[in-house]
């Protein structure tokens, strides 16, 4: 898989985000309503990556910078958003590769900690994050009051 820096509103990203939202609808009964804009993912305060296999977009993920807030973020946080791999490409290590690339980009931008929110209806995501060194942490963000929501964090080296 070739990973490229892209834009949140790039047509390939939009296509995969739409697929991801359909998956959220299937698993949770509706889309993720977290407010996001393409500007959230612009360097140096964010990044958005698109993974390609044989010129076909197969994976996405991004991070956006966060600072201490009443939503539960800390100064220097990089919030992981829109991690997704198309069903036919799952189990090939693409999510792990995108996650590692996002961690490197966040570290290079001076971020101190990666954080993310997922849900109990995504056990494969929870497995990925735990096996990548993430630990469950206090809830934050839009879904922090949802009982099925789980938040994870990983301190970035340095």
Q: Is residue 140 part of a domain?
A: no
Structural domain range at position 106: 2-112
**DSSP codes joined into one string, 122-137:** -HHHHHHHHHTT-EEE
Q: Is residue 70 part of a domain?
A: yes
Q: Is residue 58 part of a domain?
A: yes
Domain harbouring 43, CATH code: 3.40.630.30
Helix (H, G, I), strand (E, B) or coil at 129: helix
The H or E element containing residue 149 is strand 149-155
- The alpha carbon of residue 86 and the mean position of all alpha carbons in its chain are separated, in whole angstroms, by 14
Q: Hey, how many other C-beta atoms are within 10 angstroms of the C-beta on 156?
A: 17
At 135 the pLDDT is: 98
Of 24-28, 32-36, 120-124, 141-145, the range with the lowest mean pLDDT is 141-145
Q: What is the mean pLDDT of the chain?
A: 96
**pLDDT tens-digit profile of 13-65?**
999 999 999 999 999 999 998 999 999 999 999 999 999 999 999 999 999 99
Beta-strand runs (E) in 14-148: 46-53, 56-66, 77-85, 113-119, 135-137
Number of domains the chain contains? 1
pLDDT band for 158, please (50, 70, 90 cuts).
confident
At residue 150, φ and ψ (nearest 5 deg) are -135, 135
At 74 the pLDDT is: 93
Q: Quote the tokens at residue 71.
A: 């939503």
Q: Quote the tokens at residue 109.
A: 């931008």
Q: Is residue 83 part of a domain?
A: yes
- pLDDT of 145 higher than 90: no
Q: Is residue 101 part of a domain?
A: yes
Query: Side by side, which strands form the sheet with 149-155?
Result: 2-5, 46-53, 56-66, 77-85, 113-119, 149-155, 135-137
- pLDDT of 108 higher than 90: yes
Q: Is residue 131 part of a domain?
A: no
Of 28-32, 38-42, 83-87, 107-111, the range with the lowest mean pLDDT is 28-32
């Amino acid at each position: 898989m070739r990973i490229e820096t892209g834009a949140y509103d790039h047509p390939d990203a939009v296509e995969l985000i739409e697929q991801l939202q359909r998956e959220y609808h299937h698993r949770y009964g509706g889309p993720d309503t977290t407010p996001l804009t393409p500007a959230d993912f612009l360097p140096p305060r964010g990044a958005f990556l698109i993974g390609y296999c044989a010129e076909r977009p197969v994976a996405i993920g991004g991070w956006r910078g966060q600072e201490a807030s009443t939503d539960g973020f800390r100064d220097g946080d990089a919030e992981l958003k829109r991690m997704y791999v198309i069903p036919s490409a799952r189990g090939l290590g693409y999510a792990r590769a995108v996650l590692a690339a996002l961690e490197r980009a966040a570290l290079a931008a001076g971020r101190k900690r990666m954080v993310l929110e997922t849900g109990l209806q995504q056990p494969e995501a929870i497995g990925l994050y735990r096996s990548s060194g993430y630990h469950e942490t206090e809830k934050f963000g839009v879904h922090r009051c949802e009982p099925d929501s789980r938040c994870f964090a990983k301190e970035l080296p340095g």
